[in-house]
Structures are given as structure tokens and as C-alpha cells.
Structure 1
């Protein structure tokens, strides 16, 4: 009889039973959207080098404009299409009137997170070409309900999880080096996450191999995949920070790692989705969403947050608790399992002609 039970249902009864509190999540979300507006950023980024991925449009573009307006010394626009990045650069330079050095201060570098080679090549260029890196804002991501496989992994997971985290680990040594060379700097590594981590039961975690299950087309739920990707980001970063704390001396962290929720914005995040879904979400974003400029303020706050935000989830420029089940013993077990299996996937990329080096002790996995 058990063999006749669909796999999606069968795995739900095993090991972990995650039950998100949808009502509370919705109330938190709506309160933020309607009653909280992050203040206009004024923090100075003078002398700092800032990298923003996915910065030719939307949140990343507006955040990049803020960083340049706030006097960062060098700004790297990391984009899939260089010509579009150059157009974004021209717009930023034209709009920030008090600076005249934009064509030297802003550089456009190619980065395609669907490609492991592109991701690692970008990281290697950062290490070799930049004397310092003070801020990395990993904003690039996709939302799609259409099944697609890239390099053996479902597309959303490949971009939002695997290569986003691969880039983070590859750049962490450079951020640590910056702290050593420039003690006055507090480097930041920021993953742009989402409230949507609250809305999934994450059934794949009950599989012996999470990523094998995520790559099973017969068990694919496109409406939940973005949520799952954002939950994995949250769990991985929290466990990463726990492990880094366990291997470091007392005192402030050399690099502040943050998870930042920009809220629902009127952006083009959904352009990978089918036309019907795009129109439905467009209407919802129009009714509830904030502008990409307002949403981008949260990215700026995450890039200058204090050590109290290390490993924390930030909304509207302030620390916010993640979904409650994550703090339970079950949550700790899920977090550990996600981290260990993700690290095995990332380590597996070393055998594909690329040699990512973490430069930090992450313990056994």
C-alpha cells in the first residue's frame, strides 16, 4: 500500500513536520508593507568598495545608486548582461549630481549565477583586481514556476541557493582580508532574502537527499520553489554564522553577515514566470508593494548594520525574528541538515574544473 502513496505526500510524514504560522506571517507582512517605511539612508560609505549583484534593474540598481550617492569609493555592478549594466551605470552617474567621478568609480563586471564557472571567475577577479572589498550585496535572484534544469540542478535552486552561497563563501576570505588590512572597516556580506521563507512546509527536507528531491521533476511545485529557496538561504546563513562563531575568538565578528528582507516591491522579479502568473502578481504588487527605491533602502541598512545584526534577518532596517519553528530543536536539526547537504553540493563543484576555496573553518560536514 505504501508504494502507492505519491512521493510528495509520503515524505511529509517522515522525520520533520514543519507547520508555518501563515496567519502571523501575513500580519507581520502587511504591517510592514502598510505601516513601516525604511528611512532614507544617510550613512557614509566613503573609502569603501561595494559590490552589488543583479544591479542593472530593480532593487539592486536602486541600492547601487544609494551607495554611489553615499560616497563609496568604488562600486562594482555585477550583472548578467554588461551592456545593460553600462546603461544602469550611465543612469546612476547622471542622477547623482554631487559626484563627477562616476565613470572611474563605477565598474560593470559580468556575473551569471546560473553558471558555476561565471560565479567562480567573478570571485577570482574580485580577489585579484580589488585591493579591498568592504560590502557584498548578493541581490541577484529569480522567481519562476517553470521547470528548468541548469548544470544538473533546478534553475531557481541553482541561482538563488547554490551559486549565491558559492559566491558568498568564495568572497568571504577577501572580506576577512579587508578587515585585516583596514581595521577601521567593518566588512559586510549581505544575502537578500525574503518573507516568503515563512510560507513553506519544506517537504524536501524529509528526503535523505534534499537536493535530489529538489531535482525530481515529478515532485516539483513551482508555486513553492521560490519560498523553499529563500528558506534554505536563511537556514544556511544561520548555521554558517553559528559555525564561524564557534571557531573565532571573542569580540565583534570580522565580517558581519546579514539576511535582508526588502519587502514586496514593484519590481520585475517575476519575469521568469508564465504570463498569467506575472499578471496576477503584478496586480498584487501594485496594490501592496512598495517602490524598488524604498525596498532598496533595506539593502543599504543591511550593509552598514552593527555586529548585533550578525546572522540576523533584517526587515525595514531592523532585526526581525525568522519563522518561529526555526528556533526550536526541530529547526536546529533542519538547519544542520540543510547546511551539511548544501556544503556537500558546493564542495562537489570543486571537481568541475573550478577550485573554490572557502578560506574559513566550517567544521565537519
Structure 2
């Protein structure tokens, strides 16, 4: 019983001299990814989270780790404010990055939530989609020129990795398709389309759709974008689940879960080790996976195009220059 073993990161892997940003890097897999990047000698790492106190606590904790002190004592570890519940915060975060970060080699979109009941974000959209997708998409579009310019300057592709999930297979598109009369965002904003047990799946489905579409317009020589699934991991991510479901998930994680170290290694593999063959791809246990079957159908590809169009329309409400992606 269990999941395929995740091999150790190759000793040849290094991010020395590079700058990385990780959203939601103060806890769980995000924190562990930050730790592993520091051990791999990343020169500068920015933890992007909502809480100022938790952000600074994470920075102090990472600095104090013996393995970080030993492997990378001169690393720059910083906190930047980013509230994924708010698109405007995403714009302000990206603006700060463009001013203060001359080169960006790795952007890891890790922050996320899983909620059983419908909630509205500060930007007026359904919260799971806002946090897991919309603000990340906006930040990505805002920082894409910096990622590409860094690649040209350094002579190797920059990296953009979204933390995906095989839960995308449980998306609701087939049983509840997006109507022609509504945008994708309007569809997910409707309370009647909300399923607490499947909205997380819908968000990861939309995430992979975005990854596919972005990969079609950016060459892998400049940017490798992918979305690996860390698998079932022993973290506190179940805090948003109803009380009746938590005991089941507790037992499941005890029996089958990867350690946080193993889960984080799947992200490190995608963001540091994997090559251009993973551009636009979903990864499962460090291998390219086709993702949700509906992506092989016309309905899935239509969704990819509609999501991209509606994402750009939404993004231009916060930054008119993003219309260039339309």
C-alpha cells in the first residue's frame, strides 16, 4: 500500500546564483520546498504569503536551520506580502518584484486552499478558484516578461511550476459544462455549480488548462512551465475539511501519505531537474502524465481556450497592458 517512491534529488542539481519565489512558502510543502532550494544553494529566495508575522517567522526559521547554515550561509531569504484572496494584491506584489528583483529564475505557485463551503474572495469571486488559480494566473502574466528576460540573459530557460494535483481527474466539467452564455469565471462563481468535495479538483483542472495554454505561447527555450502533483502528503492541508471527513483523511494519510520531504521533492524535480519535455505538462511521481482525460476531447480543449480568454479579460481589469496576451 502506498505511492511510488520519489528518488532523492540528484547531487548534481543546483540553483546556485539564482533567485526563486514561492507562494505559500511559510508552511507545509511550500516551506519544505524553500528549505530544499536553500540546501541546493539558491542565492535568493522570496517567501510570498499573506500574513506578515508568519512570513517573517518562516524567514527566521529557514535561516536558523543547521543544514541551511552549513550549505548556504550567505543566502538572502526574504518575505514579500501576497494575499492570494485578492487580485489587486497580486498586481502590487508583481510590481514590487519587478522593482526589487532584477532576475527571476524560478517562480513556484504553491499557495492554495481547499474549502467545503462556498465563500467569496476579496475580489468578488469564489474563493478556492481565486486563491488557487486567478491570483496566481495574474501574478504569472505580470512576471512573465521578467522570467523570459532572465532566461535570455542567463542562456537557459527560467522555471514556472504550479503545484498541481491528480484530483483534476474529478473535475465537474463533463457533468456541469460551462454555458455559452457565461464566462468560465462566472460559471465557477455561481453557488449552484459549487461542490465542496470537487471544487479543489476543478481548481487543479483549471490550473493545468492554464499551464497548457501558456506553454503554447512561450518557447521552452525561455521558460519551462509545468504542474507536478506532490501526491498525498502528510501535511495539515485538511484543516478546511468538515469534521466528519477529517478522521478518514487522517487514517488515509497515515497509511499512504508521502512525507513532506518526499512531496516537496516532486516540486523540486519539476522546477529544477526536469527538462523541456515537461513544458506544458502535468507530472505524476516525476513522470509526464496526460492529466484529466477530458483534455483529450474537444470539450477539454475548448475549455482551455475559454479559460485563457476569460483570464486575460479579468486580468486587464487590474492591468490594461495584459491585453497583449489576448
Instruction: Report what 2:88 is aligned to.
Output: 117
Q: Distance in 2 between matches of 1:285 and 1:308?
A: 31
Do the aligned residues in 2 keep the contact of 1:50 with 1:135 (CA within 8 Å)? yes
**Following superposition of structure 1 onto structure 2, how do residues 58-207 of structure 1 map, counting pairs within 5 Å?**
58-95=28-65, 96=67, 97-99=69-71, 101=73, 105-150=76-121, 151-183=123-155, 185-202=156-173, 203-207=175-179
How many residues align? The count is 318
> SS at 1:213's partner residue?
helix
Residues in 1 aligned to 2:115 and 2:10: alpha-carbon distance in whole angstroms: 31
Which residue matches 2:262?
Answer: 294
Rate the CA distance shift 1:357–1:63 in 2: closer, same or farther, 3 A.
farther
CA distance in 2, matches of 1:190, 1:324: 21
1:19 is matched with which residue? none
Q: Which moved more, 1:143-152 or 1:329-338?
A: 329-338
**Paired position in structure 2 for 1:56:** 26
Aligned partner of residue 143 in structure 1, secondary structure: coil
Tell me the secondary structure at the aligned position of residue 172 of structure 2: coil
> TM-score, normalising length from structure 1?
0.81
Name the counterpart of 2:8: 39
CA RMSD of aligned residues (A): 2.0
| Distance change >3 Å, CA 232–CA 65, structure 1 → 2 | same
* Structure 1 unaligned residues grouped into runs of 5+: 1-29, 246-251
- Taking the aligned partners of 1:142 and 1:233, their CA distance within structure 2 comes to 14
Shift of 1:195: 0.5
Query: 1:52 is paired with a residue of what secondary structure?
Result: strand
Seen in structure 2, the aligned counterparts of structure 1 residues 51 and 115 have a Cα distance that, compared at 3 Å, is same
For 2:245 and 2:313, the matched residues in 1 are separated by: 34
Q: Distance in 2 between matches of 1:83 and 1:277?
A: 30
Alignment equivalent of 1:303, drawn from 268, 271, 275: 271
* Cα contact 1:172–1:358 (8 A) shared by 2: no
Q: Which has the larger radius of gyration?
A: 1
After superposition, what is the alpha-carbon deviation per residue over 1:255-312, rounded to whole angstroms, capped at 9, x for unaligned? 1111111111111222233333333322222222111111000111111221111111
Deviation, 1:356, is: 6.3
Q: Deviations along 1:99-128, whole A, 9 cap, x unmatched?
A: 4635x6111111110011211111111111
Q: Distance in 2 between matches of 1:156 and 1:46?
A: 35
Residue 86 of structure 1: CA displacement?
2.3
Structure 1 residues 345 and 204: alpha-carbon distance in aligned structure 2, compared to 1, 3 A threshold? farther
TM-fit CA distance, 1:358: 4.1
What is the Cα deviation at residue 204 of structure 1? 4.3
CA contact (8 A) 1:112 1:118 kept: yes
Residues 146 and 201 (structure 1), Cα distance of their counterparts in 2 relative to 1, 3 Å cut = closer
For 2:309 and 2:87, the matched residues in 1 are separated by 20
Q: Which residue of 2 aligns with 1:281?
A: 249
Give the one of 301, 320, 330 matched to 2:299: 330
Q: Which runs of 5+ in 2 are unaligned?
A: none
Alignment partner, residue 321 of structure 1:
290
Could you say what secondary structure the match of 1:274 adopts? coil
1:20-70 deviations in whole A, cap 9, x for unaligned? xxxxxxxxxx7xx43332323531100000111101100000000000011
Residue 225 in structure 1 maps to residue 225 in structure 2: no
SS at match of 1:205: coil
Q: Normalized against structure 2, the TM-score is what?
A: 0.90
> Is the Cα contact below 8 Å between 1:41 and 1:300 reproduced in 2?
no
Secondary structure of residue in 2 paired with 1:243 = coil
